[in-house]
């Protein structure tokens, strides 16, 4: 999180909110104490910081913010502080050079935006978002790419003047989906500009957030609904449950054998063998509870049963990193009779992780999540163009597969055969 102050100073707060750094490009300072709530509020709301000034004291060995005298930053090594802030700047600053007329227009636009947000009412709003994440780099913002769902959504809100700036804007999210994973009901919360007064919660008098934001979003990312939420609302920790679905063709899989294995996952278990450990955490709890697990037929192909589409539905409160994809991978191996269902119980009891490849991220969807006491205001979205393009592509590919020249003798290769290497399957990456 990066903030530009007056007099050429920059403040940087780490994502973990434990380090507060400052630099003027030559010297550097750091605050080892707990970051004050006022500073976190600046970063979170994306407000302009022109009213706060840095004052050097003790011959530049220390800094303090005049308006917040309790914040003292001590001298630090520039080689550690400056590169961090310069990296943030290089990823966020506009590199395009403007001529005098363009620069004047930019300054006027910025001044108008500051005036709007100086008196604006901001309210904590929950947004229900649906997206096909196949070509995106995941949900959460990253420093090495702008092609994430959060980045796209925040830039759309900035373009609609619902937030002051998309830079370093903090949001809470229901579930963090990885690269290539989709969501039908992703819930995030952030502070948006409102037409109504402080304390007033009448959706009819406020902006039509769904229509407004969807007008500037790409076709495969859409806002479905919005709702007012309290100041303490956190989409991650206040969710009652999350459900995921994983879609796949039947191929050579023994669906009944897979269904008979599901009950071994249900309940509270140690899923250490089915996840990737998060190295940013000093200690991690691998115990999770699965309340429901099923395999259902989605689309039946009467000409060739191997082309019928099924989905695995999994319901729980929280999941570990890559947990579902690893579970699906093992279920595929059981369905192909490469493993015994007893392996599930063994992995849950011992926590041992076998060297299985993960199931592909493409068929995985964050299907639903449930919260208490949220009155959603739903909007209408049009996905007809996306559907048309996709169904035509699917039909063309299926027709190509049925030609005599490119006939598929064994459709089971889509998942696995006993002759294949474990890492060669399209559904295992």
**37-55 pLDDT tens trace:** 666 666 655 554 555 566 6
**49-101 pLDDT tens trace:** 555 566 666 555 676 666 666 667 777 766 666 666 666 555 555 556 677 88
Residue 417 lies in a domain: no
Tokens 């429901």 — which residue? 292
428: pLDDT strictly greater than 50: no
pLDDT confidence of residue 39: 66
Q: Please give the positions annotated as active site.
A: 178
Residues 224 and 248 in one domain: no
pLDDT confidence of residue 146: 85
- Sign of the Cα torsion 199, 201, 207, 209 reads positive
pLDDT confidence of residue 407: 46
Residues 364 and 309 in one domain: yes
**286-333 pLDDT tens trace:** 899 999 999 999 999 888 888 899 999 999 999 998 999 999 999 999
Residue 151 lies in a domain: yes
pLDDT confidence of residue 399: 81
Residue 271 lies in a domain: yes
Residues 248 and 344 in one domain: yes
Residues 204 and 318 in one domain: no
Residues 72 and 28 in one domain: yes
Residue 9 lies in a domain: yes
Three-state SS string over the chain comes to: CEEECHHHCEEEECCCCCCEEEECCCCEEEECCCCCHHHHHHHHHCCCCCCCCEEEECCCCEEEECCEEEEEEEEECHHHHHHHHHHHHHHHCCCCCCCHHHHHHHHHHHHHHHHHHHCCEEEEEEEEEEECCCCCCCCCCECCECCCHHHHHHHHHHHCCCCCCCCCCCCEECCCCCCCCEEEEEEEEEEEEECCCCCCCCHHHCCCHHHHHHCCCCCCEEEEEEEECCCCCCCCCCCCEEEEEEEEECCCCCHHHHHHHHHHCCEEEECHHHCCCCCCCCCCCCEEEEEEEEEEEEECCCCCHHHCEEEEEEEECCCCCCHHHHHHHHHHHHHCCCCCCHHHHHHHHHCCCCCCCCECCCCEEEEEEECCCCCCEECCCCCHHHHHHHHHHHHHHHHHHHCCCCCCCCHHHHCCCCCCCHHHCCCEC
Residue 144 lies in a domain: yes
What integer is the mean pLDDT of 330-356?
Answer: 89
17: pLDDT strictly greater than 70: no
Residues 253 and 350 in one domain: yes
**In terms of residue numbers, what domain contains 86?**
2-92
- The span from the CA of 398 to the CA of 401, in Å, is 5
CATH code of the domain in which 202 resides: 3.30.70.580
- Domain end point (choices 370, 391, 408): 370
Residue 106 lies in a domain: no
Residues 255 and 220 in one domain: no
CATH code of the domain in which 282 resides: 3.30.70.660
pLDDT confidence of residue 30: 74
Residues 205 and 258 in one domain: no
Residues 185 and 300 in one domain: no
Residue 342 lies in a domain: yes
Residue 141 lies in a domain: yes
Residues 365 and 247 in one domain: yes
Main-chain dihedrals φ then ψ at residue 313, nearest 5 degrees: -110, 130
């Amino acid at each position: 999180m990066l903030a530009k102050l007056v007099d050429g100073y920059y403040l940087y707060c780490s994502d973990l909110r434990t380090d507060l750094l400052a630099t003027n490009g030559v010297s550097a300072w750091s605050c080892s104490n707990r970051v004050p709530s006022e500073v976190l509020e600046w970063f979170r709301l994306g407000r302009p910081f022109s009213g706060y000034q840095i004052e050097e004291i003790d011959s530049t060995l220390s800094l303090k913010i005049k308006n917040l005298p309790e914040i003292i930053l001590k001298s630090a090594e520039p080689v550690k502080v400056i590169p961090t802030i310069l990296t943030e700047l290089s990823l966020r600053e506009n590199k395009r050079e403007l001529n005098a007329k363009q620069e004047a227009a930019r300054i006027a636009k910025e001044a108008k935006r500051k005036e709007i947000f100086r008196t604006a009412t901001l309210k904590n709003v929950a947004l229900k978002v649906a997206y096909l994440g196949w070509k995106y780099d995941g949900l959460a913002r990253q420093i090495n790419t702008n092609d994430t769902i959060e980045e796209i959504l925040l830039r759309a809100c900035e373009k609609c003047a619902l937030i002051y700036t998309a830079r370093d804007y903090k949001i809470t999210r229901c579930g963090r989906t990885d690269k290539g994973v989709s969501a039908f009901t992703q819930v995030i919360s952030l502070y948006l500009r409102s037409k109504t007064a402080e304390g007033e919660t009448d959706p009819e008098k406020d902006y039509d957030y769904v229509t407004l934001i969807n007008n500037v979003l790409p076709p495969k990312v859409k806002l479905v609904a919005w709702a007012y939420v309290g100041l303490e609302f956190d989409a991650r920790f206040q969710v009652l449950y999350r459900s995921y679905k994983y879609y796949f063709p039947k191929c050579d899989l023994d669906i009944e054998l897979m269904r008979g294995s599901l009950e071994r996952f249900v309940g509270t278990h140690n899923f250490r063998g089915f996840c990737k450990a998060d190295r940013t955490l000093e200690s991690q709890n691998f115990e999770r509870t699965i309340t429901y697990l099923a395999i259902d037929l989605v689309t039946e192909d009467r000409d060739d049963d191997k082309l019928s589409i099924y989905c695995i539905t999994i319901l729980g409160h929280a999941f570990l990193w890559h947990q579902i994809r690893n579970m699906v991978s093992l279920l595929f191996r059981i369905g192909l009779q490469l493993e015994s269902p007893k392996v599930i119980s063994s992995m849950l009891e011992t926590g041992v992780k076998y060297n299985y490849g993960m199931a592909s991220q493409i068929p995985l969807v964050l299907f639903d999540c449930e919260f208490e006491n949220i009155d959603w205001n739903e909007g209408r979205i049009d996905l007809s163009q996306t559907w048309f393009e996709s169904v035509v592509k699917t039909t063309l590919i299926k027709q190509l597969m049925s030609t005599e020249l490119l006939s598929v003798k064994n459709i089971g290769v889509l998942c696995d055969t006993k002759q294949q290497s474990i890492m060669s399957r399209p559904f295992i990456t």
